[in-house]
A = this chain, B = another copy of it.
Amino acid sequence: MNFTERLLASQKTRQSLLCIGLDPDPRKIPASLQHAENPVAEFNRRIVEATADSVCAYKLNLAFYEAMGNRGWEILRETLAVIPKDVITIADGKRGDIGNSSEMYARSIFKDFAFDASTVNPYMGFDSVQPFSQDPRQGVFVLALTSNPGAKDFQYLKVGGKPLYERVVRRVKKWNIAGNFGLVVGATRPAQLRAIRTLAPGLPLLIPGIGAQGGDLKKSVRFGCNAAGFLALLTAARSVLYASANEDFADAARSAALLLRDEINRYREEYFR
């Protein structure tokens, strides 16, 4: 199975298009965990145990782990170890460098940590992306249109009458020979999400920004899914992880995740049955 097929299988089996961003902020870990040997790893473990049956994927933003120093990489490893094998894991590092350096990043993400997929930045072009796409089973989500305000600085610039992000989408479609490329499109941009899905009907779309970033969930489902109602990865982090700041944080995260999953599925039934 190539990556797209693996993602589809995970979404069908689990009947969920929800992806949780496991981006732990040590300052926000509930006080009840502060006495654990490793509060952040314990927090992640409890979140995964509480939510694994309601998601198709976890996205781990490497920035949060890098910021914790050497311990961060251990926590990353421990977190990956508790995620069930049939749930897709995405290393959100937005890496990209000249070929031999991108190979190093890819080796770390796919061989050392054994992630299922990775996000990459397109600015340096094909040879910076290609090392991440060597194994068809492993996914590469290329940044197309991001959820942050700065997206307007370059991504919207017109190139031959069309925005730069569309050019990225067209290139990624060409690169996608083995069925393992996808795109990152922020949930905060529903009209553009619709245009991108039309342009790339078969690509997985990683859609961050539902929840704390204020992205529109209904439109993200409607415009982000493929024609069969799959292949959108609706991604929330803070609104799930910190649903409660108290001892009941795992239960609260579970409830928040189930609510999101079910809301997504209601919209899917509305638009795709």
Query: Is B146's CB under 8 angstroms from A124's CB?
Result: yes
A-side interface size class? 35 or more
- Using Cβ atoms and an 8 Å threshold, which residues of chain B touch A128? 146, 148, 150
Out of B64, B101, B107, name the residue touching A104 (CB < 8 Å): B64
Query: Is B105's CB under 8 angstroms from A124's CB?
Result: no
- Using Cβ atoms and an 8 Å threshold, which residues of chain B touch A12? none
Q: Which residues of A are in contact with B by a Cβ distance under 8 Å?
A: 23, 61, 63-64, 66-67, 69-70, 73-74, 94-99, 101-102, 104-105, 107-108, 112, 121-129, 143, 146-155, 157-160, 164, 167-168, 171, 213
- Using Cβ atoms and an 8 Å threshold, which residues of chain B touch A122? 123, 153-154
Query: Is A150's CB under 8 angstroms from B164's CB?
Result: no
Residue of B nearest to A101 (CB): B63
Q: How far is the CB of A168 from chain B (nearest CB, A)?
A: 7
With A98-B147, A121-B96, A146-B124 as contacts: A112 and B157 at CB distance below 8 Å: no
Query: Is B164's CB under 8 angstroms from A63's CB?
Result: no
- Using Cβ atoms and an 8 Å threshold, which residues of chain B touch A168? 154
With A69-B108, A97-B61, A157-B159 as contacts: A152 and B125 at CB distance below 8 Å: yes
Q: How far is the CB of A21 from chain B (nearest CB, A)?
A: 10
- Using Cβ atoms and an 8 Å threshold, which residues of chain B touch A121? 94, 96, 121, 123-124
With A122-B123, A124-B143, A164-B164 as contacts: A63 and B105 at CB distance below 8 Å: yes
Supply 18 further A-B pairs (C-beta < 8 A) apart from A70-B74, A124-B143, A124-B151.
A63-B95, A63-B97, A63-B102, A66-B104, A69-B112, A94-B95, A94-B96, A94-B124, A98-B146, A98-B213, A121-B123, A125-B146, A125-B151, A125-B154, A126-B150, A128-B146, A154-B167, A159-B164
